[in-house]
A and B are shown apart, each in its own frame.
Chain A
Amino acid sequence: MWTLIQIELYKIFRRPRTYIAFVAIAALISIIQFGLKLDGKSYADFLMKDIGGSMEIDGNIINGYLICYIMLQLLLVHVPLLVALISADMISGEANMGTLRLLLSKPYSRTELLLAKFFASTVYTIMLLVWLAILALFVSMWIFGVGDMFLMKSSYVVLISQNDVFWRYAGAFLFATLAMITVSALGFFLSIFAENSIGPIVATMSIIVFFTILSTLNIPIFNALKPYLFTTHLISWKEFFDLKVNDSNEAIMGSIQNPQRIINSALVLIVHILAFLGASIWIFNKKDVLS
């Protein structure tokens, strides 16, 4: 099994395609950072224009912490694509290349092979998020400095003390990793049905985009559906950036408004991962390899 995992990782990291994702993330992030470095003031003014007409913000809100949050939000759409680029190719790519039949006639069970492949794509996903964290968080902290984090939510704003932020990012990135592994598991599941990698990649993205739209729409019939859509839970990392308040409306340092929501979302995602992986193994074991 360890040999299989090593081989799968070797294959992933020997492919030029793998590095597209790392380059893409670096490019996107450095463009945003460059733009904010040049013209952060006007972006800040735009954000701070007024909150509710009666308050004004004093100080520079454009610091490393806020920038990382903005980027995580923006990249929410891109990172699943980059994850799917590899995970949705894990089986279908081999079928397309013609190596699948050779691989499956080797003395390993299909279950072992799938687990090794899933593990390898998970390692890739984790590395992608570590890369994202390095660039979006640490580099931004280095370029823009740190400070209090000011966030505008739909019905209130949150101000988090600068020494209360970092651990939230640790949690957020851990959660985001779980969310991206879910995307990876979906792509992986779809990849067992196809003999080219474009189909599963497009299918994975379509499902995510479609579900995300359902999750975003505020229409009563869809609202009932929302808790069951995994896309609703993909962004629960944001819950780390909401604080509880005490009776005098004073935010409590180190608190999270809805810890239960994070736990629920994490559980929903874990169930999805296990379901996708389980279904992949079950179906793939019965599948005749004709490619």
Chain B
Amino acid sequence: MKKLLISLFVFHFSLFTHAQDMTTLIAKVKAKLDLVTDYEAVGHMKTDVSFIKAPLGKVKVYFKKPNKFRLKKEGGISLLPKGGVSVNMSSIIATNEFVALAAGESVIGGTNTRIVKLLPTNENSEIVLTTLYIDEANLLVRKAITTTKENGTYEMEMNYGNFSKYGLPDKVIFSFNTKNYKLPKGITLEFDDSEKSLSDAQKLKNKKGRVEITYSNYIVNKGIADAIFVK
């Protein structure tokens, strides 16, 4: 009995120290991200969703602390995973309302990372669970998997380059699950023959969607008017 109690205690303790570790790590990452109060970035967006045909588009991305985010596409219309792209690193760890748990280590793109699971303490949080793969040496989040209540699970993979000192990625890849898309032909007034729609249906079997944004330049901490974030 005593043994059991001890072991339980030890287990608790180790868990606690790990959590402490992770919280510190997150705090460090956050401190690095906090260096950026705002940024404006230009880049290209590529949408790869089975039922979407969209060309490569030029985008401008604006961010301002604490969680203002805006993506503007040249031509005006962008197709984004629901509630997805605006979930960026800063906003995920902007609050302190989570418990950070260590969940091992992994190698992402040749870099050793620590796996950290963030559990929101707020019951009403939209996010259920976030898993971060953190490059401890450079204090960069390489990969984040976020499970939300309403919009499923997203995966974000980030590659860093020139702006790694600010914790800003050169390339972000969002992966997410897509549901079926279908409109009756009566509404779209299509008289297509059935073979054609069959092959489209086959395409739809790939239910994983991807949105890639490749940033070519950032302008950091030069100040951004709030008006930009008003839709």
Contact = CB atoms under 8 A, between A and B. Distances in A.
Q: Touching in the complex, A and B, CB below 8 A?
A: yes
Interface of A: 50-61, 63, 73, 76, 147-148, 150, 152-164, 215-216, 218, 223, 226-227, 231-232, 235, 238, 242-243, 245, 248-253
Interface residues of B, number: 52
Contacts, number: 159
Contacts of A251: 53-55
Nearest to B204: A155
Contacts of B78: 57-59
A157 B79 contact: yes
Contacts of A60: 76-77
B55 A55 contact: no
A74 to B, nearest CB: 9
Contacts of A242: 53
B190 A249 contact: no
B189 A249 contact: no
Interface stretch (B25-33, B127-135, B159-167, B174-182): B174-182
A238 B196 CA distance: 15
Contacts of B187: 154
Interface string B184-209: 11111111111001001101100001
Given A159-B52, A243-B53, A56 B193 contact: no
A216 B187 CA distance: 10
Contact of A58 (B77, B192, B201): B77
Interface in B39-77: 46-57, 71, 73-77
A158 B177 CA distance: 19
A253 B181 contact: no
Indicate the member of B54, B152, B184, B197 with the most A CB atoms within 10 Å.
B54
The 9 closest A-B pairs by CB, nearest first: A52-B181, A147-B76, A148-B75, A159-B54, A59-B77, A148-B77, A156-B51, A53-B179, A162-B75
